[in-house]
Structure 1
Amino acid sequence: MQHATQVELLSKVLALAERSVSDGAAEPSSLPVSAYLDEERYRRERDEVLLREPVLVARSSEITKGAFLTRELMVPLLLTRDEQGRLRAFLNVCKHRGTQLVGEAAGRNRVFVCPYHAWAYNPDGQLRGIPHGYGFEGVDRACLNLTELPVAERFGAVWARLSPGPALDLDSFFGEALCADFDSFAIDDHVLFDPRDIRRPVNWKLTVDTFLENYHVAKAHQATIDHLFWPNLGSFERFGRHIRNYYVKRNLRELQGQPEEQWDLRRHGNLLYLLWPNTLVLVEPDHIDFSSVFPDGPLATRVLSHTLLPEEPQTEKARRYFEKNNEILYAALEEDFAMATRVQNGIRAGASERLWHGTYEVALRWFHQSLEQGL
């Protein structure tokens, strides 16, 4: 992050700390509990938002030249990269009878042959052959190619729209400010560490909600991370539909009397980004954690998480250091899942029709407002 932005954010939270208040909205807000429980609402969020916006589907390093990768992310996805480095994305579906085409998770490009009737496709999605093709004379072969999806790369990651549409312009989508932030993190060459695929029986938005405020840390995370963070002190900013939070650590006062040119934002707190619509990025002092949250049904969530390190750990001690960091991170995440489960059980009981957001839970308001606007 540009140093001027670091100084601006740290000056802001220092002033808030002096007043013993957090950043936030002018007044509280509320949300109907039906936003989490209604099955029709879930279908609309999936079909009208999550399938129509760019979502993170892989790290660029996971798909090398001449390779393919498959993912099951609300739809079956096939990614291929040719020998020249061009990346393509397709629905992993044979156009004959709708069979999932490629069953392996990853491998080297080849002619992809459907396991049902042996229709064959090239890695560029073009239909290569139909056994006994005379039975399909008169059918426009162009409509039998794989369905191509928009795909692009930014921040060392692969982003795709999971439904057909125009090409992605990720610089415009993320905006100048967030692109500047992420470019400064220089993560294109970071290495993938400890990827995880987590499924839990809670609505996907309850999972996102736990990331977007630090009000709960003092109570819900007493056993894991509370000792690190200043109670309920943060900065919250909105960049279109994207969000940047800064959660302050207890060592903030070390800055007092220190020259501004020495200030280091990542030492004194964690940045938390919501990259619309479902990717959460936690920027820690020496590594960065990505979590993409997908609905796995109306009352279920799937979180694809991974850590990015500047380089491969060079010693067993270094590896153990990052493993220990992730043990703490995922222990805290399990505490969040436990709270989300209790919330879901509580709202299903019908105790109230609305949930309330305090002024310092403003990022939740922004997230849910953006969802409403997308429906």
Structure 2
Amino acid sequence: MQHATQVELLKRTLALVERGVSECVESPSALPVDLYLDEQRYRRERDEILRREPLLVARSSEIPAGHFITRDLLAPLLLTRDEQGRLRGFLNVCKHRGTQLVGDAAGRNRVFVCPYHAWAYNPDGQLRGIPHGYGFQGIDRACLNLTQVPVAERFGAVWARHSPGPALDMDAFFGEQILADFDSFALDDHVIFDPQDIRRPVNWKLTIDTFLENYHVTRAHQATIDHLFWPNLGLFERFGRHIRNYYVKRNLQEILDQPERDWNLRRHGNLLYFLWPNTLVLVEPDHIDFSTVFPDGPLATRVLGHTLLPEAPVTEKAQRYFEKNNAILYSALEEDFAMAVRVQAGIQAGASDRLWHGRFEQALRWFHQGLDEALGEERVEVLGR
């Protein structure tokens, strides 16, 4: 992040400390509980939003030239990179009878042969051969190629749409501020550490909700991270449907003894980005954590997480250091999941028809308003409107 931006944000944070309040919007808001329960709403979120937006599905480094990977997320994906470095994305589905084409998680490119009737495809998605092809005379072979989905690479990551559509314009998707922030992190050269695949029995939106406010930290994270953070103090900004939060650490006032040229935002708090529609990025002092949240059903969540390090640990001490950091991170995440399970049970009990967002929980409002806007609804209720 540009140093001028860091200084601006830290000055805003110091002003909040002086007043003793977090950043707030003008009024509280409310959300109907059926948005976490209704199967039709879940299907619309999956089919009309998540399957149509660019989602983070891999790190670019996971697909070297001449290799492929598969991902079974909101749709089965096959991602291939040719020897010249060109990346392509397909639905991992044979056009004959709809069989999953490639069962391997990764490997070198080859002719992909369907395990059902042995239809064969090249890594560029072109149909190569049909056993006893005379039985399919009259069919335009072009419509039998693999179904292509748009893919793009940005910030050292692969972003894919889970359905056919136009090419991805990642500059327009992220916007100027997010691009500036993430370009400054130089993520292309980072390495993956400690990938995670977590499934829990809660609505996917509850998982995202827990990241978007720090009101709960004092109570819910007493055993893990509460001692690090200033109680319920933060900055909240949105850029289109993306959100940037800054959660302030108790060591903030150390900067009062430093010249501005030495101020470092990452030392005195955690940046938390919500990248629409389902990726959360936690920027810590010396590493960055990614969590991409997928619905696994109306009442089920799958989180694919990984940590990015500037370089791979080269000593046992460095390895233990980052392992300890991630142990704290995922312990806190388990505390959040435990709370989300209690919320899920609570709203299913029918005690209330709505949930409330305080004035300092505005990022939750923005997330749910983004979903409403994408679906052409207006379910978030803002008091005073």
Under TM normalisation by the shorter chain, which class is it? Answer: over 0.9
What corresponds to 1:28 in structure 2?
28
Q: How does 1:84-233 map to 2 (within 5 A)?
A: 84-233=84-233
List runs of 5+ in structure 2 lacking aligned partners. 376-385
TM-score, normalisation: structure 2:
0.97
1:66 aligns with 2:66: yes
Provide the rounded CA distance (Å) in 2 between the counterparts of 1:99 and 1:83: 27
What corresponds to 1:304 in structure 2?
304
- Matched residues, number: 375
Provide the rounded CA distance (Å) in 1 between the counterparts of 2:370 and 2:36: 15
What corresponds to 1:283 in structure 2?
283
Q: Which amino acid aligns with 1:125?
A: G
Alpha-carbon offset, residue 323 of structure 1: 0.2
What corresponds to 2:383 in structure 1?
none
Alpha-carbon offset, residue 311 of structure 1: 0.3
What corresponds to 2:250 in structure 1?
250
Provide the rounded CA distance (Å) in 1 between the counterparts of 2:71 and 2:160: 11
Provide the rounded CA distance (Å) in 2 between the counterparts of 1:302 and 1:283: 21
Alpha-carbon offset, residue 231 of structure 1: 0.3
Alpha-carbon offset, residue 71 of structure 1: 0.4
Secondary structure of 2:332 counterpart = helix
Provide the rounded CA distance (Å) in 1 between the counterparts of 2:197 and 2:136: 41
1:56 aligns with 2:56: yes
Provide the rounded CA distance (Å) in 2 between the counterparts of 1:175 and 1:45: 23
Alpha-carbon offset, residue 128 of structure 1: 0.3
Secondary structure of 1:296 counterpart = strand
- Deviation string, structure 1 residues 154-178 (Cα, Å, up to 9, x no partner): 0000001111000001011001111
Provide the rounded CA distance (Å) in 2 between the counterparts of 1:125 and 1:165: 16
What corresponds to 1:363 in structure 2?
363
- Deviation string, structure 1 residues 59-107 (Cα, Å, up to 9, x no partner): 0000000000000111100000000000000000000000000000000
What corresponds to 2:13 in structure 1?
13
- Deviation string, structure 1 residues 311-362 (Cα, Å, up to 9, x no partner): 0101000000000000000000000000000000000000000000001110
Provide the rounded CA distance (Å) in 2 between the counterparts of 1:26 and 1:332: 30
Q: Which amino acid aligns with 1:34?
A: D
Secondary structure of 1:318 counterpart = helix
Alpha-carbon offset, residue 26 of structure 1: 1.0
Provide the rounded CA distance (Å) in 2 between the counterparts of 1:345 and 1:122: 48
Q: How many percent of aligned residue pairs carry the same amino acid?
A: 82
Alpha-carbon offset, residue 24 of structure 1: 2.0
Q: Which amino acid aligns with 1:8?
A: E
Q: How does 1:34-49 map to 2 (within 5 A)?
A: 34-49=34-49
Provide the rounded CA distance (Å) in 2 between the counterparts of 1:24 and 1:209: 17
Provide the rounded CA distance (Å) in 2 between the counterparts of 1:213 and 1:13: 16
Secondary structure of 1:90 counterpart = strand
Provide the rounded CA distance (Å) in 2 between the counterparts of 1:188 and 1:327: 25
Provide the rounded CA distance (Å) in 2 between the counterparts of 1:268 and 1:343: 31
Q: Which amino acid aligns with 1:75?
A: A
Q: Give the 4+ runs in structure 1 shifted more than 6 A.
A: none
What corresponds to 2:379 in structure 1?
none
Root-mean-square deviation (Å) = 0.5
Alpha-carbon offset, residue 257 of structure 1: 3.5
What corresponds to 2:380 in structure 1?
none
Provide the rounded CA distance (Å) in 1 between the counterparts of 2:219 and 2:31: 23
TM-score, normalisation: structure 1:
1.00
Alpha-carbon offset, residue 186 of structure 1: 0.6
List runs of 5+ in structure 1 lacking aligned partners. none
Secondary structure of 1:93 counterpart = coil
Alpha-carbon offset, residue 220 of structure 1: 0.2
Provide the rounded CA distance (Å) in 2 between the counterparts of 1:241 and 1:42: 19
Provide the rounded CA distance (Å) in 1 between the counterparts of 2:83 and 2:24: 49
Alpha-carbon offset, residue 153 of structure 1: 0.1
- Deviation string, structure 1 residues 98-127 (Cα, Å, up to 9, x no partner): 000000000000000000000000000000
Secondary structure of 1:367 counterpart = helix
What corresponds to 2:323 in structure 1?
323
Provide the rounded CA distance (Å) in 2 between the counterparts of 1:103 and 1:160: 19
Q: Which amino acid aligns with 1:189?
A: D
Provide the rounded CA distance (Å) in 2 between the counterparts of 1:324 and 1:44: 39
Q: Which amino acid aligns with 2:129?
A: G
What corresponds to 2:382 in structure 1?
none
